[in-house]
Amino acid sequence: MLEYEIAEFGRRMGLGSLSLNERGMAQLDISGLGSFFLEVRDGPGCRWLLMYLCAPADGHDPARVRRLLRMCDFRRNLPFPLAAGLYKGKSVLLSRMEERRVTASAIENTLRFLAQCSGSK
């Protein structure tokens, strides 16, 4: 099911086919946005789809770091779980979803959400 939904997401994005590599990952480089990764991870009792967006960031900007962390506040009632950080000069925004909840439209909505968070002030 998970692999089907990822392939369907790829079709919705205009790609002929999108599939995970042997390590359970796929990467899309999106002009003006950054790199969007899909990664399957096994957890206790279920598999998870990790979805993260990486984009260049000025790691020396303390205001950006505070903003990234502030976005993750549980009191914001976000539509998807969100974790954020900086790694090797890139901002990383990550969300995750249990396999049973994954659909092509849910992946698309998560990408839209991460892109919105990436550009929020």
Q: What is the CATH number of the domain that holds 58?
A: 3.30.1460.10
Rounded to the nearest angstrom, the gap between the alpha carbon of residue 57 and the centroid of all alpha carbons in its chain is 16
Q: Is the pLDDT of residue 120 over 60?
A: no
Segment 72-101, tens digit of pLDDT:
888 888 889 999 988 888 889 999 999 999
Domain that holds residue 6: 2-119
Q: Give the confidence band of 121 by pLDDT, cuts at 50, 70, 90.
A: very low
CA distance 64 to 108: 25
Q: Is the pLDDT of residue 113 over 70?
A: yes
Nearest Cα to Cα of residue 2 among 44, 50, 36: 50
Considering its fold, how many domains does the chain have in total?
1
Please give the pLDDT value at position 47. Answer: 92
Q: What's the pTM value of the predicted model, to 2 decimals?
A: 0.88
Segment 34-48, tens digit of pLDDT:
999 999 999 888 999
